[in-house]
Structures are given as structure tokens and as C-alpha cells.
Structure 1
Amino acid sequence: MSFSAKPNPKGNKESRGAMGLLLVFFPYDQHKIANSIRRTSSGLLLTKALSTISLCALFLLLTLLFFTLSNFEPSTRTPSAIKAAPRRILSQKPQLSSSQWFFPMWGHKPLQRTKKPSASFALQGIGTLYRRGTKAMNDLVVGHVIEDVNEDDLRLFLRVLHRSGVTSRADTVFLFGPSSSSSKFGFVIEEENESFFKLVRHYDSSGGKGLRDSVLSFDSTQFWKSGKKDVKETIWGKKGRGSYSNSTEVEGGESTRLIYGSVVGFDVNELDPENSLAGFLDHVPMSLRRWACYPMLLGRLRRNFKHVMLLDVKSLMVLSDPLGRVRNRSPESVYILTKESSSGKHSKRNSEKTQSHHLVNSGILMGGARGIRRLSNAMLTEIVRATMQHKKKSYISESGILSELVGNGHILKNINLITSSESIQEASSAMGLSPNSASDDSIIHRGNSNSVIMKLICLIEVESSVYRDC
């Protein structure tokens, strides 16, 4: 009897014991038994491998099936229904697709929701289009939204702006700070735009265009213009995109059409992605950073608008059309308002620098597009110079820098400055004015009159049925 089998030091003890017993009872078939055991082990491994591969293949097919079903869109919706469907607000929670119900751990999102629709861009892939106007406008209103502006502030500004009639001749651009992005105020802007259309449709269906018997009433006649249909298309948004309009044919091949401007918004990070002033100031407030955004914005629009107005949304409101002061001026003209500087040492220091006893009101600037663009470029350079000269950055004020720039005639020699010392009334004193008197006081200080103005608007019967907050 021979025991020639060599033990495997790495094998299992039980396996070696079983092999030994087999060799004892069947000494002459030891090689056959060893081969049989090896074949059995290989067969088990192959069976397990095939089962694993089959399960993986089945899991992959199910995954592809659910992915296909989740991205399948039925074609039963008509173009009119698609056009009428409102755009989803960013603050709303998206509905879960079928694949998200089965595989919530994956965090799967449909591809069309991860990318901003191209139709919502305002200009060349940036900005947000809230309302596309009926035609290209000659005037542009740029309102900057500083850090402490809330939703009620912006709502009232836009509501009064629509009632002033300015939006019948101008496009409106909102410049948002990084802490007050367009998604935060998007619902407010779209809601006020819809309220505007409701007012227009109400007066149109009632057979009248509306009359403006007070500075806060809505006069829809300002938005109905006579002219030919072939007008130049606005630059905002995707070309050929439809918008609400109505027209009435008259003799001579002309028609009375509803005309209104576009409403768009830009984030400062879109126009000033590098935060140009961050290297000179620890904290760059919106009042200063906006000047780094104007060169890019106005540079892209240089051939599209003739007149531009820069406006502070927080402190000022528009009752009528203030751009009438500059429409007959040269493209290089800039209309500025000055105010008396406060008394004391601070006033003396400012007067010595500006060689004047007046400070420029930085809340509103208007003029020809070329003049405003040149002024914004010079203002950005002056801000950098002032931050480099002053050791205490807290003493730097936008109004002081602008006043010093205006007082330096050499820097602004290529700009036609028009200085006016007219005062801007407070909202409380301007509410009792008639529409004719409001043309002289087209800009008012908002102050703390938000609730008062809202109540006066809601007292009008038609408006109280349109605005949900009345």
C-alpha cells in the first residue's frame, strides 16, 4: 500500500482528511479521484459565474428600460398648450419620474431639467427673459437691485413702472446682486407682468382703453399705438418667439397695436464674473459693483438703444416718463441731478474735492447711450483710483466718487454733462398730484411709503380685482 500523494500546506484541513480516507480505501484509483474532484470544483465555479453574469445582464436591461421610459415624452400636447404652460419656478419642487420612484438612491434627473432652456436666456446665453416685448425699443431702463431690497420693494417698483407708461417705450433690465439672484425675484416679476396683461385685456374687452385720473391709475391708451405691422424685432430672447398682442385694422393699411417693452434680468456674476473690484475692497457692495457690470452690458447693446436710464430700485420710483428730458439731446449727453451736501467737516472735505457745494444724485442717471457708456467706464476707473488712495475703505462712497468725477471736467471732456438742481419729491407729497403735474415730478423718493402706495392702488376698483394682494 503506497501513500505517494503530496499534502497541500495551503489547503483546508477537512479537505486533506477526506482525501486521505479516499486514498486509503482506493489506493490504485487515487489519480482518478483527484481529477474528479477538480472537475467538480471547476463546474461549480463556472455555474456560479454564469449565474452572476446573467443577473448583471438582467439588471442592466431593466435599468435601460426604466431610463427610456422616464425620458419618454408623449406627443399629445398641442403647440398652443405648450405655449400656454407657464415656466416652472425654480423654488418649486420637481415631480419625480418613474425611474426616480424605483431608484431613489441614484438621484436621477431628466436631462432636460438640468439645463436652462435656451428660450429663457435674455442675451447671448446669459440673463433671464421674463417678458419679450412686441418690438425693438429705443430706450432702456436699467434698475440695480441692492442687497436689502425685498420682494415687496421690487413688486411695488415694477407695478408703478408699468402704470407710468415707461414700459410702452422702453425695455426694462434688472441687475441683481449675488445675494438676490433672479430666481428669488422671478415669481414677483412674472406675476406683475401677468397683472399688466390682465389690466390690458380688461380695458380692451370692456370697450375702453382706460383713463388716468390720478398718478397711480392705469392708462392703457399709452400702450396702444398706430403704425405698420412690419416693425423691428426685439433683441431679447429667441427670435420668432410669440408674445401676447392685439391689433385693430384702420384705414390706410395701418393698425392700432398693443406695444410694450421687454423685461429681463441679469446677475452681476454673469456680467462681472471675476468680481473686478474684489482685489481693491474686502467687501464690494452692489452700489459699486454695478459699475463693473455696465461696460459689458452697455457694450453689447451699443447699437440697439438710443437712450439709457440707470435707476436705484430701492430708493426711487417712476411716476411718468423722465426720459423726455434727454430724447432731443446728443448721444453723448448725460443728465444728472445734484443735491445740496450736508453741513460740517464732511461737507467741506467733499466741496474741496469736487470744487462744488453739490453732490450728484447717484440714484438716477440718464442720457444718450454713448454718454452713459462713457460715464460708466470712467466711473469704474475712478472707483479703482479712490480705493487705492484711501487707506480707510469705509470712507469711500459712491455718491462722493461720482461727484468728484463730475467735478473733474478733464476726465469727462468727451461727455456733454447737463446738470440740474431740481429736487425729487417724497412719495407722500406726490400722491395727491394730477397726471399732468406728475410729468414734472416723474421720479419720486420711495421712503417708507410702500404700504400707503399699495393701499391707494387697491382703492381703484379694477385694480383691486386684478392684484391678488389687494
Structure 2
Amino acid sequence: MGMTSKSRSNGESWGMGFLLVLFPAEDQNQESNNRKSNNLNQFSPSASFKRTNSSHLIHKVQSTISICLLLLFTTLLLFTISTLPSATTTAARRRHLISKSPQFSSNISRALQGMGTLYRRGTRAMTELVVAHAVESLTRDELKSFLRLFHRSPLASKSDLLIIFPSRTAAYDAAILEENDSFLKLLTRYKSSNVSHSSASFNVTHFTKIGKRERDSGEPIWGRRIRSNSTGNESARVSYGSVAGFDVEELDPENSLSGFLGNVPMSLRRWACYPMLLGRVRRNFKHVMLVNLKEFLVLGDPLDRVRTQSPESVLVNAVGRHGKGNTRPSRVDSGVLMGGSRGIRRVCSKMLTDIVRATMQQAKKKNPVSESGLFNQLVGNEYVLKEVKLVVSTESLAEVSSLGGSGLHRSNHGLIRRGKNSSLDANSALITQLCSFPIDSTVYSDCRY
């Protein structure tokens, strides 16, 4: 009988302790009641019977709560475990892609003052900058074709490339790293080969013939320096720029135009990104080119047209004319502009101001805001751009479809348009032509031989 009473007492104490944890506000009253109940159990049979029922009820409540807590804990544990593989797999794939590139043999780093991602650090400090912006409809193949041609152009040996994304994805990251890796392989294999320039698709002399002034230009401003253990200081014998990517959220964290527009397209939001980006690097670059990488491809060296101009100069390209024989352009293309860094910054600042003004008036007039229309109004307003030396080029830019043959390798065009509905044809033509060269076919993974 003593053993039964002792066991019962232990069970009751454990149950009371569990309930005290769950209901701390009632711990003192409950403990007092327990003492009184124990005293009554020693003298009253009816009290003992009631206490037995109370103890049974407490055990049931305790069991129910314990089961509920166990089920809740198990559910949370299973949910956590089920989400781990996907996150781990994504991170592992990203690390694998990064480790494949020689430029990412060490830790990945931010590109600029805690912002952006550095995909490739260049060999030296550049004085020219290409800022390419992506749009929401950009495909992975379109990004790859832009990068592939840019890496083969003379501009790649003289400028840094920054890409602004609406939002970066793993597919974009993989495409950039793959094209960087292909470029470095091309550079190495063409340097060590005896292929003549006339029979090659990749002109390695753009990247190997550099003067003492370029070699002594200093370190790139992007990311941390990558120390190499290789002998001979191979990087000093070649010249190529850095490649970095930024999300719009990094350059325009407050989404400046969201207070005026419900859904801000990339064509407008990019203008809110330029002031921060170009402002932070204003002392590092003399010339800047802004380009829509979905609409244009770089073949040659388009910045060659503005290198001798003043820092306030900005060159834009005409799209059409006001009729036959009229030299005045009817409109210009907002997808590409280039010039001195000071002039580009001023145009970007004025354009952002005009966008804000137009979006504020939109609620009254209920007219959609057109980025191209606003840019043409700005270019036509000489008073607003009085501090900018604007140059309108009447030279028409060819489209991919009009070049034909080996036209993708002509460097004298500088820039070409992909053309409407021709992106698939451009990618197909590009792959076909490049894969016809022996060295190139061994470098690019999408070549089939």
C-alpha cells in the first residue's frame, strides 16, 4: 500500500511540474492546493476518492498536451528537413560553377562597397565602363550571345562590364561564369597556337598588345585582389576588364519611382540606378556606354567615336528621319548612349527628373509613361541639356539579319541590333559561325561536332 501511495505521489508531482511550466501564473495557487489535498487524503476516504479522479484527469490532460507538443515538434522538424536539400543543392551548384572559373579560385567577393557580385576581376584599372542593363524578358541565350561577342571585341580589353538585372537568377550567374571561362580558354589557346589572324575568329592581339602606360594603370577597383601562385606573372602580359553584376534593389533600394507608378518597368527603373552607380565611380572612368543587352550586340569598339570628345559629350543614335532628304532625325534610340562620364551622368540625372515629373502628371492625364518618348523629349530640349554637348549620329546601325555570312565578325560596325523577333536567328547564326573554327569549337560547350 505504501509503494502505491508513493508511486502515485511521484506521478502527481511530475504532472504538477509539467503544468507549472505551461501555466506559470498559477504555480503558487496550485502548489498550495496540492499541500491541502495531501493533508485531506490522510483523513478522508471521500477526499481520497475525489483526489484519485483529479489525478486521473491531470494525467489525461498531461498526455494530451504532450502528444500535441510532440506532433507540433515533429511537423516542424520534418518541414525543416524537407527544405534543406533544395537550398543545399542550390548553394552546392553555385559553388561548383564558381570553382570552375579560374578567376573564382578564391572566395567570391562583392563588387563595390558591399554591393554587386564580382564574376571576374580584370587585369588592370580601366578608364572605360560599359553598363549593360537587362530587361524582364531577357533569356539566358540572349545574355550568353551578348557576352560571347563582347568578350571577342576590342572593347573587352579596354573596359569593365557591369550588368544591371531586374533580379539575378542562378541561370544568369551560370551563363556569365560559363562565358568568362570560355573567354579565358580562348585567350590561352590562341596565345599558344600558330593560327594566323586571317584564319582565326578570335583576335588575340587585342588582349596582348598593351603599352607600358596600360600596364602601369594600377589595380581594378572591383573586389579583392586575387593572388596567383603561377610564375611569369601571366596576367601582366594580357589586358581584359572586370565583369560584375548588380540587382536594381542594390542600386535603388527604395524603388524611387514606386510612389508614382504601381509597377515600375526596368526601362524606367534603370535611370534611378545610374546616379548611385556612376556617382560612386565618377573618378575612375573617363568614358561610359549605357546599352540594352537584349537589343544590341557589341562587335567592335563603339567608344572609339567619343574618346577624342570632351567629358561633357554624349552621343546618341538616330532611328529615323523627318522625311526624304531631311537630315534632322525624327527620333533617337534610348537603348544605347555613350560619351564622357560627366556628360552621361548629367543626362541620367535629367532623365530621372523628367521621369518623376511625368509619373506625377500621369494620375491627372491618365497617359502611360513612355521611356522612349521621354528620352526623345529630353534630347530635343536644348535648354535642359545646355551643360551637355549632345551629338546625334545619323549612322544607321545594321541588324543581324542584314549582315549575313560572317558578318558577326565585322568589327567596323561597333554595334549591331538584334532586330525584332530575330534573337533566335542571331543566337543560331552566332553558334554556327563560331563553331566552324577549330579552336572555338573545342571551347564552347554548345558546339556540336
What is the alpha-carbon distance in structure 2 between the residues aligned to residue 276 and residue 372 of structure 1?
20
Partner deviation per Cα, 1:242-265 (whole Å, 9 max, x = no partner):
36999699xxxxx97111000001
Deviation at 1:166, TM superposition (A): 1.2
| Matched-pair contact (CA < 8 Å) for 1:334–1:368 | yes
- Between the aligned partners of 1:304 and 1:393, the Cα distance in structure 2 is 42
**Would you say the 8 A contact 2:400–2:408 is kept in 1?**
no
- 2:38 maps to which residue? 11
* Structure-1 residue corresponding to 2:180: 193
Q: Deviations over 1:445-465 (max 9, x none)?
A: 113122222222222221111
Question: Where do 5+ consecutive residues of structure 2 fail to align?
Answer: 1-34, 46-88, 97-105
The one-letter amino acid paired with 1:401 is L
Counterparts of 2:197 and 2:151, CA distance in 1: 14
Q: CA deviation at 1:420?
A: 1.1
Q: Which residue of 2 aligns with 1:404?
A: 377
Q: Percent identity?
A: 50
Task: Select the residue among 414, 429, 434 that pairs with 1:452.
Answer: 429
Query: Per the alignment, in what secondary structure is the counterpart of residue 114 of structure 2?
Result: coil
Question: What corresponds to 1:237 in structure 2?
Answer: 223
Q: 1:206-265 CA deviation, whole Å, 9 max, x = no partner?
A: 245x62558xx2111110024445441110001x3236999699xxxxx97111000001
1:374 to 326, 334, 346: 346
Q: Is the 8 A contact 1:281 1:393 kept in 2?
A: no
Amino acid at match of 2:444: Y
Question: 1:89 touches 1:186 (CA, 8 Å); kept in 2?
Answer: no
Aligned-residue offset at 1:434: 6.4
What are the within-5 Å matches in structure 2 for residues 223-262 of structure 1? 223-228=207-212, 230-238=216-224, 240-242=225-227, 257-262=237-242
Alpha-carbon distance in structure 2 between the residues aligned to 1:119 and 1:457: 30
Of 355, 368, 390, the residue aligned with 1:383 is 355
**How far apart, CA to CA, are the structure 1 residues paired with 2:169 and 2:381?**
37
- Cα distance change on mapping 1:451 and 1:273 into 2, 3 Å: same
Cα 1:91–1:338 change in 2 (3 A) is farther
2:331 to 348, 352, 359: 359
**Aligned residues of 1:136 and 1:232 also touching (Cα < 8 A):** yes
- Identify the residue that residue 221 of structure 1 maps to in structure 2: 205
Could you say which residue in structure 2 is the equivalent of 1:133? 122
CA distance in 1, matches of 2:149, 2:316: 22
Query: SS where residue 395 of structure 2 aligns?
Result: coil
Match of residue 68 from structure 2: none
* Correspondence for 1:150: 139
User: Structure 1 CA distance, aligned partners of 2:392 and 2:226?
Assistant: 42
Letter in 2 for 1:267: D
Judging changes above 3 Å, is the alpha-carbon distance between structure 1 residues 10 and 198 closer, same or farther for their aligned structure 2 residues?
same
Separation in structure 2 between the aligned mates of residue 298 and residue 340 of structure 1, nearest angstrom:
30
1:469 aligned partner, one-letter code: D
Distance 1:15 1:456, change over 3 A: farther
CA RMSD of aligned residues (A): 3.2
The answer to whether the 8 Å contact 2:130/2:289 transfers is yes
1:6-405 mapped onto 2 (5 Å cutoff)? 10-11=37-38, 16=43, 90=91, 92=93, 119-177=108-166, 180-181=167-168, 183-207=170-194, 211=197, 217-228=201-212, 230-238=216-224, 240-242=225-227, 257-340=237-320, 358-390=330-362, 391=364, 395-405=368-378
Q: Structure 1 counterpart of 2:437, which letter? A: I
CA distance in 1, matches of 2:270, 2:366: 18
Q: Given the superposition, is the C-alpha separation of residues 443 and 393 from structure 1 closer, same or farther in structure 2, using an over 3 Å criterion?
A: farther
Structure-2 change in CA distance of 1:316 and 1:273 (3 Å): same
Deviation at 1:433, TM superposition (A): 5.8
- Structure of greater Rg: 1
Q: Deviations over 1:395-448 (max 9, x none)?
A: 321111000001110100000001112111110222436699631x21111131
Q: Structure 2: how far apart are the matches of 1:134 and 1:205?
A: 19
Go from structure 1 to structure 2 and tell me whether the alpha carbon gap of 1:175 and 1:192 turns closer, same or farther (over 3 Å shift). Answer: same
Q: How far apart are residue 339 of structure 1 and its match? A: 1.4
CA distance in 1, matches of 2:91, 2:365: 41
**Partner AA of 1:197 in structure 2:** L
User: What is the Cα deviation at residue 149 of structure 1?
Assistant: 0.3
Amino acid at match of 1:463: D
The 1:324/1:154 distance shift into structure 2, 3 A limit, reads same
Paired residues of 1:131 and 1:193 also in contact (CA < 8 A): yes
2:118 & 2:94 partners in 1: Cα distance? 21
- List per-residue Cα deviations over 1:315-359 (Å, max 9, x = no partner): 11011000000000000000011112799xxxxxxxxxxxx7611
Which AA in structure 2 matches 1:286? M
Against the structure 1 CA distance between its residues 452 and 245, is the aligned structure 2 distance closer, same or farther, given a 3 Å change threshold? Answer: farther
| 1:334–1:371 Cα contact (<8 Å) kept | yes
* Partner of residue 417 from structure 1, selected from 390, 404, 407: 390
Shift of 1:11: 2.5
TM-score, normalised via structure 2 length: 0.71
Note the C-alpha offset of 1:202.
Answer: 1.0
- CA offsets, 1:276-324, max 9 Å, x none? 0111111110010000000000000100000000000111101100000
Distance 1:94 1:405, change over 3 A: closer
**Contact 2:300/2:410, CA 8 A, preserved across alignment:** no
Tell me, in whole angstroms, the C-alpha distance in 2 between the residues paired with 1:393 and 1:89: 44
Q: Distance in 2 between matches of 1:370 and 1:444?
A: 26
Q: Tell me if the contact between 2:406 and 2:433 (Cα under 8 Å) persists in the aligned partners.
A: no
SS of residue paired to 1:425 = coil
Per mean C-alpha deviation after superposition, the further-off stretch among 389-398 and 267-276 is 389-398
> Using the alignment, how far apart are the partners of 1:393 and 1:450 within structure 2?
39
- Contact 1:126/1:266, CA 8 A, preserved across alignment: yes
Structure 1, unaligned runs of 5 or more: 1-7, 19-87, 96-116, 250-254, 344-355
Question: What residue is the counterpart of 1:465 in the other structure?
Answer: 442
